[in-house]
Amino acid sequence: MVPFPYLQEIQLKRELIEDFDEYPFSLSVVKELDSLRFEKPVTFLVGENGSGKSTLLEAIAVGLGFNPEGGSRNFNFASHATHSNLNEYLHFKKSYRKFKDGYFLRAESFYNVASNIDALDEDPWPPVKIKDSYGGKSLHAQSHGESFLSLLMERFGGQGLYLLDEPEAALSPARQLSVLARIHELVNNDSQFIIATHSPILMAYPNAELWQVDSTGLTPTQYQDTSHYEITRTFLNNPQVYLDELLEDE
């Protein structure tokens, strides 16, 4: 077995599932899943809202020991117990080489992570605060986009496994380019990324694996074949055509 990537494959324990009509097994990404291999440092899950890519990423994160709402594997808070039990039906094949750093970024609940950090840092002991790993400033004292960048630039240290769910949510296009550069730095420092995204900027990362998530399940795809790329490209080439059609008066 090669030592990298750290997570090499997930397999669905289909024999344990009693009813594929029940959530989350009713999602096509689960219903059609046998296994998913990770063969490159960066893997993207792309698809429409509701396709199940975030549910699958969450299950991977929880199965690897991360908090469902996000954070490192040291976080154990729970604001809302809303995650599915899909992780219990996944088998994980990992490298014998363990990652030294890890994080699950979930854009929709990153506020809760920031609040938990502030609460923990109120304890006078230890004197070294968690926020020091995020640039020394409370994440709530930063804009949403700044806090995301602080996470990637300051907290992510390399030789890690990083699971990112829609990291572009608070980032301008220019900041997304900064994230691309940071991902590359971390990849060069033996890091693995699995990213669920809608961003055609992020998914342009060279030599990444792209998996389309739709009603047929998971399908390998090329960057130029994603709807995200095609719609963005055609809109920017001629926005007036789209606007005339979308904003046409009845």
> Tell me, what CATH number does 182's domain have?
3.40.50.300
**Is residue 50 assigned to a domain?**
yes
Residue 79 has pLDDT above 80, yes or no: no
**Is residue 244 assigned to a domain?**
no
Look at residue 120 in the predicted model and tell me its pLDDT. Answer: 59
Look at residue 1 in the predicted model and tell me its pLDDT. Answer: 42
**Is residue 81 assigned to a domain?**
yes
Sequence-separated (6 or more) residues with CB below 8 Å from residue 60? 7, 10, 87, 90, 163, 194
Is the entire prediction scored with pTM above 0.85? yes
**Is residue 248 assigned to a domain?**
no
Q: What is the mean pLDDT of residues 177-202?
A: 96
Domain range for 180 is 7-222
CB-based burial of residue 86 (10 Å sphere; 0-12 exposed, 13-18 middle, 19+ buried)?
A: buried
**Is residue 237 assigned to a domain?**
no
User: Domains in the chain: how many in total?
Assistant: 1
